[in-house]
Structures are given as C-alpha cells and as structure tokens.
C-alpha cells in the first residue's frame, strides 16, 4: 500500500532539513511534494498487477519460432542507494500456441523496474512474468545497465556496465537457441 502523498512529502522535508537546507526558501517550498510525487511515480510498479497489465492481450497463434523484442528502455532504482540505474532490456520467447501483445513487454519491464531493485532480481522477475503469461517453451531476458551509485559516488566509474541474463526453458537447455537469441540482439553484447 502506498502511503498518502502528504506523509511522503513530510519525509522529504525532513531529508532536505537534514541536509542543512532551508525548507522555507522559495526554490524549495514545493520540493517535498514534488519529490514525493516523483518517487511515487518511480515506484508505481508496486501498485500494479501482472494480469491487469496484460489485460488479456494474449493471442492465439501458430507462430512457433523465436520472437525478440529488443532495446526496451529501462529506468529503475537500486535498492541499496535508491539511485537510478538506466539501461536496456531485451526479451525473447518461443511461443507455443499464443503470443503476447507487443506493448505488454514494455509494460512488464516497467512494472518491475519501477520498484526498488537489484538488476539480477529485475532480470529474473521479467523472465518469469513473460513465461507465466505466455506459457512459452522458453524465455530469455538480457539487461544491460549503468548504475548511478557506481558513477556519481562510490567507485565513480563512468563507463562500466552491468549485463545480466536469465534463460528459462529451451533457452537454458539449448546452446543453439541461446546463440540464436544472442546473435539476433547483436553479437558484441
Ligand atoms: N549485484 C548488484 N549490486 C548492486 C546493484 N546496485 C548496487 N549494487 C551494489 O551494492 C553494493 C552495496 O555495498 P555496500 O558496501 O553495502 O555499500 P557502499 O558502502 O555504498 O558501497 P560502494 O558503492 O562500494 O561505496 C555495492 O557494491 C553496489 O555497487 C545491483 O543491481 N546488483
Ligand atoms: Zn546502488
């Protein structure tokens, strides 16, 4: 359950105060409320339900070859520092009798990305969600992302990227299937 906006705004006011800033100065007067709204948006995935989101957009189809949806932008928040990590998600599946509406892959990515996350768990959750709504023979998810907690602070590495993959079903069993997927999304990833 989300807390009322006023509660969250109150906590942001305390943070601003804790930083030694003057919460009453003009530029900051509306900031606690704005920041609370922004944070609610960035974590709205907690309020969403997979079945509602897919909204029956699962269609019968005799297509049984690999389907790939590539370069889905991803904005998430690391659960350790509550700083963004930003990247791309690639999803593939092997349908057996039904296919999923194209936009729903992006909706599934957003639903899990808009929570406090680590990239590994996010990758697994997306793969398992696609598997459960499509009943596919296999699902593969690759995420490549840059973490602000690595860039703006801490080790301050500007060019490192984290890549994670989750292979289910046929993608896990068959090297050939995995290789086909990795070739389709671009060999140098
Ligand atoms: N595996 C994984 N680690 C993450 C992710 N996001 C952030 N981290 C790491 O979580 C770790 C938290 O380590 P701590 O030592 O408790 O925190 P810290 O002192 O702020 O760590 P530094 O970033 O090294 O300064 C760090 O190594 C982060 O780089 C993620 O998505 N996956
Ligand atoms: Zn972090």
| Complex confidence, ipTM | 0.86
Q: Which ligand is nearest to the CA of 83?
A: 2
Domain formed by 52-184, architecture: 2-Layer Sandwich (3.30)
Looking up tokens 């930083």 gives: 19
Ligand 1: which atom is nearest the Cα of residue 154? Answer: 25
Q: 99 and 61 in contact (C-beta within 8 Å)?
A: yes
Nearest CA to ligand 1 atom 20: 154
Which residues belong to the annotated binding site? 78, 81, 149
pLDDT category of residue 91 using cuts at 50, 70 and 90: very high
Which among 119, 125, 144, 170 is annotated as catalytic?
119
For residue 168, pLDDT beyond 90: yes
Q: Whose CA is nearest to atom 26 of ligand 1?
A: 80
Instruction: Give the per-residue pLDDT at 3.
Output: 72
pTM, to two decimals: 0.94
Task: Tell which residue, 68, 60, 140, 149, has the closest CA to residue 96.
Answer: 60
**Catalytic residue status for 149:** yes
Per-residue pLDDT, averaged over 81-99, amounts to: 98
- CA–centroid distance, residue 24 to ligand 2 (Å): 30
């Amino acid at each position: 359950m989300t807390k009322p906006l006023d509660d969250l705004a109150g906590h942001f006011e305390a943070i601003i105060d804790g930083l030694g800033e003057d919460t009453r100065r003009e530029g900051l007067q509306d900031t606690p409320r704005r920041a609370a709204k922004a944070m609610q948006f960035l974590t709205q995935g907690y309020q969403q339900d997979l079945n509602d989101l897919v909204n029956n957009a699962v269609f019968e189809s005799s297509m049984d070859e690999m389907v790939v949806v590539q370069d889905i932008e991803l904005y998430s928040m690391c659960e350790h520092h509550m700083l963004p990590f930003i990247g791309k998600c690639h999803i593939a599946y092997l349908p057996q009798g039904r296919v999923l509406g194209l936009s729903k892959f992006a909706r599934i990515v957003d639903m899990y990305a808009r929570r406090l996350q680590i990239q590994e768990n996010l990758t697994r959750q997306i793969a398992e969600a696609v598997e459960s709504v499509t009943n596919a023979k296999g699902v593969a998810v690759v995420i490549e992302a840059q973490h602000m907690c690595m860039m703006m602070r801490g080790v301050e590495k500007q060019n490192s990227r984290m890549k994670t993959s989750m292979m289910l079903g046929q993608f896990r069993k068959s090297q050939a299937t995995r290789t086909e997927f990795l070739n389709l999304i671009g060999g140098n990833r």
